[in-house]
Amino acid sequence: MTKETFDRHKLLYGTDNIGQIYGPKKYTIRMKGGLQTNPILDVNLISDFNNVCTGEKIISSLVVSIDSSARLADTGTWCVIPRFHLYRHHARIFFNFIGGSCKLPLDLSTPMRFPEGFLDENLPKFNELLRELYAVRSKKLKLDKDHKPYMKLELPEEQFVDLKWETIFVEAGDLFCRSHWIPHFELACNSHIPFITYQVGYYEIPKDFLGSYKQRRLMTALNLGYTMEEDREWEGARNNTCERSHRKRIGDNSMFFYIPENDEELEFAFRVQCIDAELMFTELNMDPE
């Protein structure tokens, strides 16, 4: 939460009316043996019912550690579909569980997890539809019934280039910024050097935010050391008792991960991970190497 980070995002947004109005988002540590994750979207593609932000939001990850000398596929880095956010309204129709050409299962959760293999199988079909819409716009193709649900939506580019997965090369110190409407997953980590990132989210500040209860709630949460979750009602502040108890037990100078013991703690661990790695291996009778 530094001014330099703010200044860089100000250039991306083209405005200084932005802020981390939910505070820090999370940090992630992927050690050797971390498997490839399933593709997710930080918002729900099908419905805005549980979406905190229905407009644009930039999610940024500052890379702290990565093995830039390893094969890119072994580093634990991100795979994303660039420009997908430009077609999110088209995708909401195309992948809708009601009337969509390629139906997603009904799931209103955020983040939204795509079924395994779903995008790999259906992204080419979505590309085909978008190519046809561009051809209709240029009068190279006649409009038919399959195109009509999309005709009120703007085509955002002069020429269409197929949407596809792209693996992102990053080095320590890089700030990787993407829209929260971009599908993404993390590759397997097969390097001894862990992939470590800090993640924040920048929103455009609502007109009624400054001086509001929402701002006071955020300031209170941060001052008390709470984790502020993205929540439509702004009541998702959670006391970081897990981290505090571990710090009290092993000392304030330790760097540690957190291993969840039940479903409730697992949900928490998606946001903050913290347990002493050497202590963990000792308790599990494992060799840290």
- Full pLDDT tens readout for the chain, 289 residues: 678 889 989 998 899 999 888 877 777 888 898 889 999 999 999 999 888 888 889 999 999 999 989 999 999 999 999 999 999 999 999 999 999 999 999 888 888 999 999 999 999 999 999 999 999 999 999 999 999 999 999 999 999 999 999 999 999 999 999 999 999 999 999 999 999 998 888 988 988 899 998 888 888 877 776 666 677 666 665 555 555 565 566 555 544 455 555 555 555 554 444 444 444 445 445 454 5
Read off the pTM: 0.79
Model pLDDT, residue 179: 94
Asked if residue 267 belongs to a domain, the reply is no
Model pLDDT, residue 132: 97
Asked if residue 27 belongs to a domain, the reply is yes
Asked if residue 175 belongs to a domain, the reply is yes
Model pLDDT, residue 201: 87
**Residue keyed to tokens 């540690």:** 256
Stated as kind and residue range, the H or E segment containing 195 is: strand 195-204
Asked if residue 136 belongs to a domain, the reply is yes
Asked if residue 102 belongs to a domain, the reply is yes
Torsional class of 216: left (φ above 0), alpha (ψ -120 to 50), beta (otherwise): alpha
Asked if residue 182 belongs to a domain, the reply is yes
Per DSSP, helices labelled H in the chain are 3-13, 88-94, 118-137, 213-223, 241-250, 263-269, 277-283
Asked if residue 100 belongs to a domain, the reply is yes
Give how far Cα 19 sits from Cα of 2, 24, 61, 214, Å: 11, 11, 15, 13
The Cβ of residue 167 has, within 10 Å, a number of other Cβ atoms equal to 12
Q: Is 75 in contact with 187 (CB distance < 8 Å)?
A: yes
Asked if residue 170 belongs to a domain, the reply is yes
Q: Is 18 in contact with 202 (CB distance < 8 Å)?
A: yes
Model pLDDT, residue 13: 87
Q: Domain holding 46: CATH number?
A: 2.60.120
Sign of the alpha-carbon torsion through 131, 94, 49, 115: negative
Q: How much helix, strand and coil, in percent to the nearest 5, is found in the chain? A: 30, 20, 55
Full residue range of the structural domain in which residue 19 is found: 3-205
Model pLDDT, residue 280: 43
What is the C-alpha separation between 191 and 218, in angstroms, rounded? 37
Model pLDDT, residue 219: 84
Residue 63 carries which side chain, given as an amino acid letter?
Answer: V
DSSP tag of 105? P
Both tokens of residue 172?
Answer: 């320590």
What is the C-alpha separation between 10 and 13, in angstroms, rounded? 5
Model pLDDT, residue 241: 56
Q: How many domains does the chain have?
A: 1
